[in-house]
Amino acid sequence: MTATKLPPTRRTFDFPALWQKTLILSGVIVLASVIALIIGGLNLGIDFEGGTSFEVRTEATVDEVSNVLPGAVASESILQEVLAEDGTRGVRVRTPLDNADEVETLRASLNELGEITALESVGPTFGSAITEKAIRALIVFFIGIAIYISIRLEWKMAIGALAAVAHDIVISVGAYAIFRFEVTPATVIAFLTIMGYSLYDTIVVYDKVRDITARVGATGRYTYTEMMNLALNQVLARSINTTITSIIPVLSMLIVGSLILGATTLQEFSIALLVGLIVGGYSSLFIASFVVALLKEREPEYEQIANKVAKKTGDDEGGTRIVDVDDVTGGDGSKRKAKVGASSGAKSKPGGAKSAKADDSGDEKSETTSTSTGSVPPKPKKSNKTGSTSAAGSGNVPPKPRKTKRKR
C-alpha cells in the first residue's frame, strides 16, 4: 500500500497571544515620544520658524564660528558641521535674524572665515503659513481616509486604521524629537508618505479578514479573533516582503545619498521614511488588527459565539484555536479525504478476496460485511475435477464429456 504525501503545512503564529506584549511595547515608545515632544520639542527648520541660514566653506571649528556671532545671536543660533558634495568641510549657521541690516553684518563677519556657499532667509509670516498648511493637510487626510474606509469596509475598521496611523506618526515624530533631527518640508512630505504606506498595509489585512469572515463566519464556530489570526498569518509573508523591498531603496538613499554624497535633503527625507516603514508594517499586524478585533468581539453575534466556544473548550485552554482547513476551503478538504479513501479502498482487493473466501466456507457474517462494504467477490475458479459431488459442492459447471469414435 503506497503512502500518500500530504502538502507541507505553513507555520502559524498566535498573534492574539502577542497583542498584550506589543501593546506594552508600543505604549512605552509612544510615552517616550510624547515626553520628548513636551520637554524638548521639535527641531523645526528655517521654513517653519523663519530666520536666516548660512553655509560657510571653512576649516574653522564650530566654536570658532560661534565666536564670530554677536552674543545675543550666538545663544539662539544653531551651528552644525556639514560636508559639501565635493568633499570639502563646512559649517551651517542658522540664526533667528530676519532684519536685512543684521543679516548683512553677519554675512560680512562670516566671509572672514571662509566662502559663503548658501544663504537662505525666510520671514516669520511664511514659516507660520507653511505650518498651518501642514496641519491642515494632516486633518484633511484623516477625514478623507475615515470616510473612505467606512464606506468601503466599515466604520470599526476606519477607527482601527486611524489608530494605527496616529501610532505611526507619534513614534516617527518622537524619533525626530529624541534624536534632534531637523524638521523640514521634506520631512512633512515623508510623514504623509508614511501614512499612505501604513494605510495600504492595514487595508490589505482588513480586506483579507473580511474575505475570511464571509466564508468561515457562516459556520458560527469561530470567534472574530480566531478569524483575524488566520488573516494575519495569511498576509504575514506579503507584509514582510513588502516592507523589506521598501526599506532597501530608502537605506540606499540614506547611505549613498546622505552619508557618501553629503546630500542633507535626502537625509531629512530618508530618515523619516525608514522609521515610518518599520513602524507602519508593525502597526498593521499588531495595532490595527487588535483595535478591530476588540470592537467586533463586542457585537452580540460574536459575543454568543465566544460564550459557546468558551463553554466547549473551557477556560484552561491556552492559545488561539486554529481554523479548520475544511471551513476555509468550503469543504474541499473533506472531498479530498473522501477521494483518497475511495482510491485506497479500490487498491485493497486482496482483503475483499479473503473475505469472499470466508463466505464460501459458510461464514454468513463475513458475507454480510463484504456486501455492506461494497467489495466485489472474486470470480470462482474452474475445477478440472469431474463428478457430481465436486460440481455440486463447488457450484461450477461440469466439463463436457469427451467424444469417442466407435469402431466399425
Domain CATH number, residue 172: 1.20.1640.10
| Residues 98 and 218 both lie in one domain | no
Q: Cβ–Cβ contacts within 10 Å for residue 15, how many?
A: 22
340 falls within a domain:
no
303 falls within a domain:
yes
Following DSSP, what letter does each residue of 251-285 receive, concatenated? HHIIIIIIIIT--HHHHHHHHHHHHHHHHHHHHHH
80 falls within a domain:
yes
Residue 194: its pLDDT value, please? 81
Domain boundary among 122, 139, 167: 122
| Residues 150 and 260 both lie in one domain | yes
44 falls within a domain:
no
Residue 262: its pLDDT value, please? 58
Q: Give the confidence band of 340 by pLDDT, cuts at 50, 70, 90.
A: very low
Residue whose C-alpha is closest to residue 17's, from 217, 289, 304, 331: 289
Residue 405: its pLDDT value, please? 58
| Residues 117 and 132 both lie in one domain | no
Of the chain, the percentage scoring pLDDT greater than 90 comes to 15
Half-sphere exposure of residue 111: CA atoms within 13 angstroms, side-chain side:
7
> ∠ at Cα 287 (284, 291), nearest 5°?
115
| Residues 108 and 130 both lie in one domain | no
| Residues 250 and 304 both lie in one domain | yes
Q: Give the confidence band of 164 by pLDDT, cuts at 50, 70, 90.
A: very high
Q: Give the confidence band of 336 by pLDDT, cuts at 50, 70, 90.
A: very low
Question: Looking at residues 93-97, what average pLDDT do you find?
Answer: 81
> ∠ at Cα 280 (142, 239), nearest 5°?
120
| Residues 77 and 98 both lie in one domain | yes
* Residue whose grid cell is 473548550: 313
Question: Highest-confidence range of 78-87, 226-235, 304-313, 395-404, by mean pLDDT?
Answer: 226-235
149 falls within a domain:
yes
Where would I find the H helices in 3-123?
Answer: 15-39, 46-49, 62-68, 71-76, 100-111
Question: Looking at residues 249-265, what average pLDDT do you find?
Answer: 72
Overall domain count for the chain: 2
Residue whose C-alpha is closest to residue 220's, from 292, 317, 303: 303
Residue whose C-alpha is closest to residue 182's, from 341, 75, 47: 47
| Residues 265 and 189 both lie in one domain | yes
229 falls within a domain:
yes
| Residues 59 and 107 both lie in one domain | yes
Residue whose C-alpha is closest to residue 221's, from 292, 321, 317, 316: 321
Calculate the CA 80 to chain-centre distance: 39
Domain boundary among 254, 276, 310: 310
| Residues 100 and 147 both lie in one domain | no
| Residues 169 and 196 both lie in one domain | yes
| Residues 204 and 184 both lie in one domain | yes
Please report, for the domain that includes residue 64, its CATH number: 3.30.70.3220
Question: Looking at residues 390-406, what average pLDDT do you find?
Answer: 54
In the chain, the amino acid numbered 278 is: I
Calculate the CA 236 to chain-centre distance: 5
21 falls within a domain:
no
For 105, the domain range is 51-122
**Which DSSP symbol is given to 96?**
-
Residue 31: its pLDDT value, please? 95
Residue whose C-alpha is closest to residue 13's, from 373, 341, 285, 242: 285
Domain boundary among 275, 290, 310: 310
102 falls within a domain:
yes
Q: Give the confidence band of 263 by pLDDT, cuts at 50, 70, 90.
A: low
Question: Looking at residues 216-245, what average pLDDT do you find?
Answer: 87
